[in-house]
Amino acid sequence: MNPVKKIGKYTQMYSQKVLKREKNVIVFGAWLGERFTDNSMQLFLEASEIKALKCVWVTKNKDVYKQIRSMGLKVVMWGSEHAVRVHKRAGYAVVSNGISDVMHEYLGGAVILDLWHGIPLKKIGFDDNIKKNYDSFSQKTKRFFKYFPFKDIYYFAPSENFRDIYKSAFRTDDKHVITLGQPRCDCFFADDDSDGVVRELNTVEKYFPSKKIILYCPTHRQEGKVEIKLDEIFNLDSLENFLQNKDYYLVVKKHFYHKDEDESEVLRKYNRIIDITKEDYDIQKLVMECKLLITDYSSIYIDYLLLNKPLLFYCYDYDNYLKNDREMYFPYEEVTPGNKAYDFEGLIENLHTFSEESVEFGRDERERLKNFFYCSKGQKRVGHEIISMIVNDKF
């Protein structure tokens, strides 16, 4: 952004700080305005059921716009006059990635609720070792002018074990970190959340209703700059043979940063390996549907702990990842409950011993880590807690 536009943007934000906002008007967004997903989506769906609230989703994506319209919910296109008016009225904005999920230049004086997009295993935000000099005078000054126009920005940590991490990662104070949980996991639990019972899968629409699926969800490599090539990390012939013999399908969902990688030609002859990275499937529904989750350094497994199902880690580039990509907040082996495979031979060996009845394997360790990652409120539906705080003006 050129200097003139930047000055105009911040002048606009500061001028709005003195205006009165409507506390029952909430604007929602996710993933830089491109997707309808994650924590902000789940809270949007729940909050839209409250008549006292006026909830509006903002998007740059025409398909997302049509989808939300078809659901009978309120949505505006990014940059439209309608979107500008809504942002100028909103008392709250709810985001999953940061203020760039919404048109934040029109939110001076609003409260920002940053739900984030996962419980961090890898270092995030200002703690990320890839970025430099976040605590220099110039960077602190820049942050001050960037965030001062907002009334407040709150972050939601899943347990007290993460309070100091969130304070550091987002360079905020204790007051602005709320220990609660992730709304996106609300779909794991029954409508009556008094006992936190996990939903039966037959109450959830399935993406692969006639198939038994193993879900593979690797995290990104250097924000997508390093490709994840399936034919290099798997022996595809051997994997297809295993899947055929055991009557499973491997569904691959890479990180959003890898959405432009095309594996169609590589996978053309493999009927049981399905790459859905380009598809905008709800990852929470996928983890509910799968029989086994395979991941590496992604925080998706922390969501998955709430379901108490088998888990396998495929860390084929473990040393390289820790050296060249992201540092972690905790020793990897201490917070990852499940078998580890460091090469394809180890992976296929673990898959051969896997069975649907293996849920008991590692149950105690999964339970211990579930209680480490989540406070008690975070182990059941939490969206209504946040909505109650908004309605009762607790922010």
- Looking at the structure, tell me whether residues 79 and 157 fall in a common domain: yes
CB 91 within 8 A of CB 26: yes
Interatomic CA distance for residues 295 and 293, integer angstroms: 6
Domain presence at residue 65: yes
Per the DSSP assignment, residues forming a β-bridge with 312 are 294, 339
Q: How far apart are CA 295 and CA 222, in angstroms?
A: 16
- On the CB side of 343, CA atoms within 13 Å amount to 1
Say whether both 208 and 267 belong to one domain. yes
Range of the domain at 65: 12-191+380-391
pLDDT at 200 over 50: no
CA–CA separation, 177 and 205 (whole Å): 34
pLDDT in tens, 327-342: 889 999 899 988 899 9
Give the whole-angstrom CA distance, residue 118 versus residue 181: 10
What pTM was computed for the model?
Answer: 0.83
* Residue of 218, 382, 378, 185 lying closest to 284 (CA atoms): 185
Whether 136 and 232 map to the same domain: the answer is no
Structural domain contains residue 295:
yes
Residue 259, pLDDT > 70, answer yes
> Where does residue 271 rank: exposed (0-12), middle (13-18), buried (19+ CB within 10 A)?
exposed
Q: Residue 363 in 3-state DSSP?
A: helix
- So what's the pLDDT on residue 194? 41
Distance CA 352, CA 69 (A): 45
For residue 2, being part of any structural domain is answered with no
d(C-alpha 339, C-alpha 332), whole Å: 12
Residues 252 and 304 in one domain: yes
Q: Where are the beta strands (DSSP E) in the chain?
A: 22-28, 54-59, 75-77, 90-95, 111-114, 152-157, 177-179, 213-217, 249-252, 273-275, 292-295, 311-314, 339-341
Average pLDDT over the chain, rounded to an integer: 87
> Domain of 385: which CATH number?
3.40.50.11820
> Going along 89-195, which residue ranges are E strands?
90-95, 111-114, 152-157, 177-179
Domains contained in the chain, number: 2
Per-residue pLDDT at 199 exceeds 50: no
Shared domain for 185 and 211, answered yes or no, is no
Quote the longest CA-to-CA distance of the chain: 67
139-176: pLDDT as tens digits: 777 777 677 678 899 999 999 999 999 999 999 999 99
E strand or H helix at 329? none
**Quick one: which of 266, 326, 260, 264 has its CA closest to 299?**
326
Write out pLDDT tens, residues 203-244: 567 899 989 999 999 998 887 788 899 999 999 999 999 999
Q: Do 71 and 176 reside in the same domain of the chain? A: yes
CA 182 to chain centroid, in Å, comes to 9
- The reported pLDDT for the residue numbered 240 is 96
- What CATH code is carried by the domain that includes residue 249? 3.40.50.12580
